[in-house]
Amino acid sequence: MNTAKIVTVDAIPVNVTGPRPFRISEGQTAVHTSVILRLISDRGVEGNAEIVCAPPGKPEEFPEEVMGAVQRYVIPALTGASATDRRAAMARLEAVLKGRIWTKAAVNNALFDLQAKLLGAPVAALLGGRALDQVPVIGPVVGMTSPDEMAKIAAEEAKAGFTAIKIKVGETVAADIARVEAVREAIGPKVKLRVDANDHYRPADCIRLVRAIERLDIEHVEQPLPRYDILGMAEVKRNIGVPLMTDDMVASPIDAMNVIRLQAADRMKVKVTKHGLDGALAIVAMLEAAGLAAVLGHVFEMGLAGAAEAHMAATARNLVFPCEIGSMRPMGTTIDIIREDLQPKPGFITVPNGPGLGVTLDWDRIDALRTDGRRGKAA
């Protein structure tokens, strides 16, 4: 096994279109874009991961950039690399490619999948062993619409059995107060309510908003300020009575350490799709040492990425449950690129048991969704 090498790297862009747009403060879209990454070894075993082009309406890495990075840098760096030495493979990539954190995260996740498959073990075993077979998850995120429409969607999720609901805000203070009030009234007092403003506010307006909704029993407010305003987040944290969570300002473990040092958040969003499994493990450990909590997940992803996050959630300590492992349901569709249904019942995602990530790519579905004009599994 130690001599297994990566001989082929393939990248497949796919689009999923839903029947309704999903809106956040930064934009809206009814189309989700990902790139499927395949690392194929000389044993015929391949590792897979999803490079998520996110967030909706304002992607951080465009599919054209991802495909270019894979062709120009990832393929030369990984071809001939050990299929089981993640550290060496990632070092080869870091030596030639700056930034591109979503692409690098997927490479890391695909390396985990490949290594675990070659070992005949699930990824969870490489992460230290699972503590859970089913991971609690929130309902599909409620995008920004009118207060009445958001309340209707949230009430349906609560009725279905979800114990926590996340809503998007980020317009005006008055409009967002109305949204939060309507949703809280619709879901009742027993369902947790998370509010995400996606970089929208300045500190003073954010403080006004949060103070106005504190009475509505908000579990936390997520990333209400622009991602680079760490000092502003610290100011907000000092002036509100609701836990404050950061997301976008943490692209790496170094960013996480800066947030911790500056006491800029009570919680931190950790995304396997953005940090990779190795990076996510490092950040969660740092938060635990600092006495802070981690919320795991990325709300806009397909089952391949969801499976990687499920393995992480089943093994990591210091996570706030339920997790925010996602799907295309915010756009009103259940289309996926894997054959397995990881969410057979509302409120839980099943951690696959098979080797690697334990999921099977659905090539008929991938052919229907891919945008590169190619067809079939052959790279």
Q: Are 6 and 80 in contact (CB under 8 A)?
A: yes
Split the chain (379 residues) into runs of 10 and give each run's mean pLDDT: 87 94 89 95 97 79 95 98 97 96 98 98 97 96 97 97 97 98 98 97 98 98 97 98 96 97 97 97 97 93 96 95 91 93 92 97 96 82
In tens, the pLDDT along 72-103 reads 999 999 999 999 999 999 999 999 999 999 99
Instruction: Name the residue ranges covered by the structural domains of the chain.
Output: 6-120+362-369, 126-350
Across the chain, mean pLDDT equals 95
Q: Which residues face 195 on adjacent strands? A: 167, 221
Asked, colleague to colleague, whether 6-120+362-369 and 126-350 share their fold, the answer is no
For residue 261, what are the contacts with CB-CB under 8 A and spacing of at least 6? none
CA 103 to chain centre: 13
CA distance 92 to 41: 17
User: What is the structure's pLDDT at 1?
Assistant: 44
Helix, strand or coil for residue 137? Answer: strand
Phi, psi (5° rounding) for residue 121?
A: -130, 155
In angstroms, the CA 351 to CA 91 distance is 29
The strand pair at 27-41 and 6-24 is best described as antiparallel
DSSP 291-312: T-EEEE--SS--HHHHHHHHHH
3-state SS assignment for residue 195: strand
Q: What is the pLDDT of residues 234-258, one digit of tens each?
A: 999 999 999 999 999 999 999 999 9
CATH superfamily of 6-120+362-369: Enolase-like, N-terminal domain (3.30.390.10)
What homologous superfamily is domain 126-350 in, according to CATH? Enolase-like C-terminal domain (3.20.20.120)
